[in-house]
Amino acid sequence: MSGEVILPVHVRDLTYADLPHCGWSGSSLHLLVVENELDRAAAGVAEYLAVCAAKTDLPLAIGGIDYELAPAAGSIHQLATMPALQSCGLGTTLMAAAEDRIRGRGLVRAELGVEQENPRARALYERLGYVVFDTRPDSWDEEAPDGTLRRYETVCAIMAKDLRA
């Protein structure tokens, strides 16, 4: 027997109170980085969104927008969807909400970086109208399973979308 489950969702700002419910998105170090982004959101230079289940209001997908990284653009970053719910449209919903927020600031361009080793995410962004215009090395600290920190290095395709269309 197979069936389809319809899960109503809404998008809202991520809050500090949500962080304990976002462990699926990454390590404790990652959640500290997200907490720092919430501080930046409070200062008005960033936003952090959550796609939430309507009944529980718990985050199922999260992602940020940085308004300082790229001139005249909102830079979408740190996108994550609960693993069991990937490929269910939550990422698309999150991206649409982020683009609306960027337009709401009077900007007409969205940018993002995607690791070259992540063809699944890149395919989503291309389907949503993003086009590669550059590649750049990137790196960040990550927490190893034993709790130690290490520097992760990668190359990202930098993609953009004109939001006027």
The CATH number of whichever domain residue 125 belongs to comes to: 3.40.630.30
The pLDDT of residue 1:
61
Could you say which DSSP state residue 5 is in?
A: -
**For the chain, which residues score pLDDT lower than 70?**
1
In a domain, 144, yes or no: yes
Instruction: For residues 75 and 137, give the distance between their C-alpha atoms in angstroms, rounded to a whole number.
Output: 16
The pLDDT of residue 11:
98
pTM: 0.93
Instruction: For residues 130 and 33, give the distance between their C-alpha atoms in angstroms, rounded to a whole number.
Output: 26
Instruction: For residues 32 and 51, give the distance between their C-alpha atoms in angstroms, rounded to a whole number.
Output: 20
Domain count, the chain: 1
The pLDDT of residue 146:
87
Instruction: For residues 79 and 111, give the distance between their C-alpha atoms in angstroms, rounded to a whole number.
Output: 13
Q: Which of 134, 140, 135, 136 is nearest to 153 (CA)?
A: 140
Strand ranges for 67-108 from DSSP E: 74-81
In a domain, 3, yes or no: no
In a domain, 4, yes or no: no
Q: How far is CA 39 from the centre of its chain?
A: 16
Q: Kindly give the pairing relationship between strand 9-13 and strand 59-66.
A: unpaired
Which residues constitute the domain of residue 130?
A: 9-162
Instruction: For residues 28 and 84, give the distance between their C-alpha atoms in angstroms, rounded to a whole number.
Output: 20
In a domain, 100, yes or no: yes
The pLDDT of residue 114:
97
Structure tokens at 111: 């940018």
